[in-house]
Amino acid sequence: MSLPVVVLCAVAACGVALALVGDERLLRGSVAALFALNALVVLLILGRGRALRRDLTREASARRTETVKLRESVTKLRESVAATQKTVEGLHGQVIRLGAGFNGLQAHPELWAELQGWVRAQSQAEQEKLRAELHAMLAEQLEAH
């Protein structure tokens, strides 16, 4: 049982006991005390209600804020998925065109050999570039320590 209910029951029991005693002044005083305690209990209940309403309002506001953030995240994810899907579709088209080009190059051995040489040169240039960057990073790390 909650505190207000216990207080009301106690006051009512006191009122019944005083009524049984039969003293009219005592009974009037207990009735006045009962009304005062009832008013106090009502104020306690209202105070708890206000605090509860305030807490619920804060919680609802936080949930609305969280919901807005989640909606924004979902919107961004949808946009990202759509962009990725367009990219994949574009890459798929390029793969088909490259496949057709690849088949055409194999039919011309001299062009195929030239392309392979160019790819090797690009690969070696990229490896040299990466090696230089790695050496630079290692040098920075050594200087830092």
The maximal CA–CA distance of the chain, rounded, in angstroms, is: 125
The label of the residue with tokens 């946009």 reads 79
Question: How high is the pLDDT of residue 48?
Answer: 78
Over residues 42-89, the pLDDT tens digits come to 777 777 778 888 888 999 999 999 999 999 999 999 999 989 888 888
Mean pLDDT of the 6-29 span: 70
Structural domain range at position 66: 3-85
Residue 92, domain member (yes or no): no
Burial 76-86 (b: 16+ CB within 10 A, else e): eeeeeeeeeee
Number of domains in the chain: 1
Digit-coded pLDDT (tens) for 117-137? 888 888 888 888 888 888 888
The rounded mean pLDDT for the chain is: 80
Q: Is residue 144 one of the residues assigned to a domain?
A: no
Cβ neighbours around 11 below 10 Å, total: 20
Q: Does 37 map to a domain?
A: yes
Sign of the torsion angle spanned by Cα atoms 27, 33, 36, 40: negative
Does any domain span residue 52?
A: yes
Quote the crossing angle between the two packed helices 24-106 and 3-21, to the nearest 10°: 170
pLDDT digits 0-9 by tens, 94-125: 777 777 776 776 777 787 788 788 888 888 88
Q: Is residue 96 part of a domain?
A: no
Report yes or no on whether pTM surpasses 0.75: no
Answer for the pair 44, 3: CB distance below 8 angstroms, yes or no. yes
Q: Are 38 and 9 in contact (CB under 8 A)?
A: no
The angle that helices 24-106 and 109-144 make with each other, rounded to 10 degrees, is: 140
**Confidence band (pLDDT; 50, 70, 90) for 4?**
low
**Alpha carbons 89 and 119: distance in angstroms, whole number:** 26
